[in-house]
Amino acid sequence: MAQVLEFKLPDLGEGLTEAEIVRWLVEVGDVVAVDQPVVEVETAKAMVEVPCPYGGVVTARFGEEGMELPVGAPLITVAVGAPASGGSMEAVEVPDTQGAKAAASGQGSGNVLVGYGTSEAPARRRRVRPDRPAPTSAPPAPAVAEPRDGRSRTAEQADGPVAVISPLVRRLARENGLDLRELTGSGPQGLILRADVEYALRAAAAQGRTTTAAPAPHPRVAAQPTVTTGPAAVSAGTRVPLKGVRGAVADKLSRSRREIPDATCWVDADATELMRARTAMNATGTKISLLALLARICTAALARFPELNSFVDQEAREIVRLDHVHLGFAAQTERGLVVPVVRDAHARDTEGLNAEFARLTESARTGSLTPGDLTGGTFTLNNYGVFGVDGSTPIINHPEAAMLGVGRIIPKPWVHEGELAVRQVVQLSLTFDHRVCDGGTAGGFLRHVADCVEQPAVLLRTL
């Protein structure tokens, strides 16, 4: 006997609570294998393909491309095993004590995301379809329209997922207090269409009763028109949803501003010798990026001032100083601002840092960064000079304690060895959490970075 298993959007890890459907990889009626990717979704961290732990025939998809779903919402249903030869179609749920046998030969694997190993699949519930007599009596049901094709919606059918794909149909029903579980769709495989909802609403209006989603102790009060005042009354403007990467950035920056008492200090530095050193390095071998040199300077400075490689545990009221440096760097992509993380940056030389920056930058450009590439940073390097600006007061990447900002390097008049000369000058800024250190520590860190920029030979002491 065939059974229909519902696959829900799994927990993608790293505290993510929703994902946006980017592209469906299967259609209704397609045959899928165990662990075959069925949908590509975009989270606040990365774009990933979600594999289905069942093998069988796709019977329904939930959500359209561009729709945002919360974790735990249905994604697809899959018919597993041989089709039933007879019997009614009412569905009841019984516990599946076999676990791995639930899907017959199309059993679930327990994997919820390719590349992110998960524990064994939890025990699932399966659907069987025995004949059940209709109830002999029932309380008066809310007013709904009978389907135009003569089919009726039974009470047992209300237990399963609602056969609605379009979010517009769901919103229309929700705004008018209509319970979609009380309708039988006229679309393919019982899909509820917009016309079905509109027909139900017209029928309810003709009967002079308000259609409600469920019996309630108080009657539904008709919505009153909203009078808009203030600037919105002049122009409605354009509303852009805060979701995906943009929403995650907004949440994190807002939390940083709420929780971290930050302060910023800055200094101008003569980067002429650093640029000459880079030119000499690039005369042979792999080209070294300026970002890699600045990262190596950062790790050397953090070794001298470890207070800035820490975070505050607010519940324990403790400062946690870390013995490893996971260096994040801000990267602007078509999807928005992301901060890939170079793991164990303190243990890498300049060439190693350069190679890892190149790998992560390419992954950011193609949108293939994994959640692991975007989390766990302990200190951030922000090279905003690529935007053609000199200075900035960046917001700390919560829960880190500091961020080093680097402006553009441009020719400027500079007093060098007692004479006025044109030198390559850069502005450096450090935004730090004032709870983890005082201004003396922050100033010492920034001065050491500036010294290394002006005289790269200073780094030889720590090599």
Active site residues: 434
Measure the CA–CA gap between 24 and 306, rounded to whole angstroms. 47
Q: CA separation (Å) from 319 to 314, 357, 389?
A: 8, 29, 34
Query: How many CB atoms are located within 10 Å of the residue 129 CB?
Result: 18
HEC string of 43-78 equals CCCCEEEEEECCCEEEEEECCCCCCEEECCCEEEEE
Instruction: Provide the 8-state DSSP code for 378.
Output: S
Exposure string for 242-264, b = 16+ CB within 10 A, e = fewer: eebbebbbeebbeebeeebebeb
Pairing type for strands 402-406 and 379-382 reads parallel
Q: Tokens representing 30? A: 């397609």
Q: Tokens representing 274? A: 């650093």
Q: Return the sign of the alpha-carbon dihedral for residues 352, 358, 359, 360.
A: positive
Q: Return the sign of the alpha-carbon dihedral for residues 216, 218, 224, 226.
A: negative
Measure the CA–CA gap between 265 and 261, rounded to whole angstroms. 14
DSSP characters over 218-252: SPPPPPPPPPP-THHHH---------HHHHHHHHH
Using an 8 Å Cβ cutoff, are 437 and 308 in contact? Answer: yes
Element housing 446 (H / E): helix 439-454
Nearest alpha carbon to residue 116 among 248, 8, 14, 6? 14
Q: CA separation (Å) from 168 to 290, 315, 369?
A: 50, 43, 32
Pairing type for strands 327-329 and 31-32 reads unpaired
Nearest alpha carbon to residue 403 among 381, 386, 385? 381
Q: CA separation (Å) from 305 to 321, 323, 402, 458?
A: 11, 12, 12, 16
Nearest alpha carbon to residue 449 among 269, 180, 328? 269
